[in-house]
Amino acid sequence: MTSDPKPVGVAVLGYGNVGSEVVRIIESSAADLTARIGAPLVLRGIGVRRVNANRGVPIELLTDDIDELVTRDDVDIVVELMGPVEPSRKAILSAIEHGKSVVTANKALLAGSTGELARAAERAHVDLYFEASVAGAIPVIRPLTQSLAGDSVLRVIGIVNGTTNYILSEMETTGADYASALADASTLGYAEADPTADVDGYDAASKAAILASIAFHTTVTADDVYREGITAITTEDFASAQALNCTIKLLALCERIVDEDGREMVSARVYPALVPAAHPLATVGGAFNAVVVEAEAAGRLMFYGQGAGGAPTASAVTGDIVMAARNRVQGGRGPRESKYAQLPIAPIGKVSTRYYVSMDVADRSGVLSAVAAEFANHGVSIAEVRQEGVVADSGERVGARIVVVTHRATEAALADTITALEELDVVANVASVLRLEGTDP
């Protein structure tokens, strides 16, 4: 007679929007989860800062003793949803050292410590899953680590921050300036009280580091990611983008590049960029996320959906819990960290793309030729140029603006060009420099 399978014990650290939703799914879907795993999934405890009776769960499940919870003998899987790098890192390492598999959505921690955590999990022969760390409910990590394990990933490009995508979408569709769009995002709950991590690109940079590490089998940290935010984007930039049949998105880009000496390198960067209307990422609006993966054999794959929020993120977390629990029941292991390639990180100056440059100039003859000469002097080929008058509120023409779109050039060459332009007496200022992604050279 077969005995009943041993339950799989779960401890959840953190009971915010995501943690409470994970607990709800575990409790409400118990029968389905048991059938999928092959054993009951039992909630053993919930780690919180302060224990009180108003949490909507039995108070005996709550504890503020995280250290004790993650080392309990009846806990098999620890789900870390507390947020900050510390004490999360300490709790995860303690859980791993005590033989617990770990599921986390902590992108900031993973972007700096993935290697340390993965090595600890390998030594302890336990699983480390983090599908929810990059794009909420959108499955990206598992396709990269499993579905494309036999392919060679060439490029990963995505919109991975819902707050900035909402702000930029509002600027485009309503004509609002950056400050107004940010205020609207805050009112709707898309932006935090301090939106710095989102609007300055730190959140997206952490996600780019995770994606690049997995896609290219190389250790990439958030510090390796070149980063620019969206705070300098103007309504004039959107008007120019529309004239070029483009929109503007904050992109996370990770790709293999080959330098002038033939060395293969990894580039990871985050910045606002012009995206052609025909590109699949151009239509991703509001707070949605999308990631496009380009692989040698599979070609272009796109993953789209809600990248944040309690329920979507909890869906990805629960999926990881099921995977870890199945491995416990069946005696298997999930994918290990793969960093065999260890390619060098490309400095931003070696990266090649196209550019949009807008500058305010003197309204007189010879200006356009002087500007074009500086691009040519630094080896940056011009694909398109447009000159228009600048009119004051009184209707008087008070200057001119030149918009240049280049062919592909290195960041180093473009930077030298901008420096030279700023030294020209006919250029009042270089108002905006944006990359143009998703086009042919």
Q: Is 192 annotated as a binding residue?
A: yes
Q: Is 100 annotated as a binding residue?
A: no
**Nearest in space to 212 (alpha carbons), one of 140, 308, 314:** 140
Q: Which of the following is catalytic: 207, 249, 339, 350?
A: 207
Segment (H or E) for 26? helix 17-28
The DSSP annotation for 228-296 comes to --STT--HHHHHHHHHTTEEEEEEEEEEEEE-TTS-EEEEEEEEEEEEETTSGGGG--TTEEEEEEEET
Q: Is 14 annotated as a binding residue?
A: yes
Q: Is 19 annotated as a binding residue?
A: yes
**Nearest in space to 336 (alpha carbons), one of 68, 140, 141, 118:** 118
d(CA 250, CA 258): 24
**Nearest in space to 287 (alpha carbons), one of 230, 249, 256, 316:** 249
Q: HSE of 240 in the Cβ direction (CA atoms, 13 Å)?
A: 27
d(CA 435, CA 237): 12
- The pairing of beta strand 288-295 with beta strand 153-159: antiparallel
What is the amino acid identity at position 50?
R
> Catalytic residue at 207?
yes
Tokens matching residue 26: 């575990």
Q: Is 286 annotated as a binding residue?
A: no
- The pairing of beta strand 352-361 with beta strand 264-276: unpaired
Q: Is 249 annotated as a binding residue?
A: no
Query: Tokens 């009846």, residue?
Result: 74
CA distances from 97 to 38, 205, 337 (A): 26, 29, 17
Q: Is 16 annotated as a binding residue?
A: yes
Q: Is 20 annotated as a binding residue?
A: yes
Binding residue ranges for NADPH: 107
* Binding site feature residues for NADP(+): 13-20
Annotated binding site: 13-20, 107, 192
**Residue set of the binding site for L-homoserine:** 192
Tell me the catalytic residues.
207
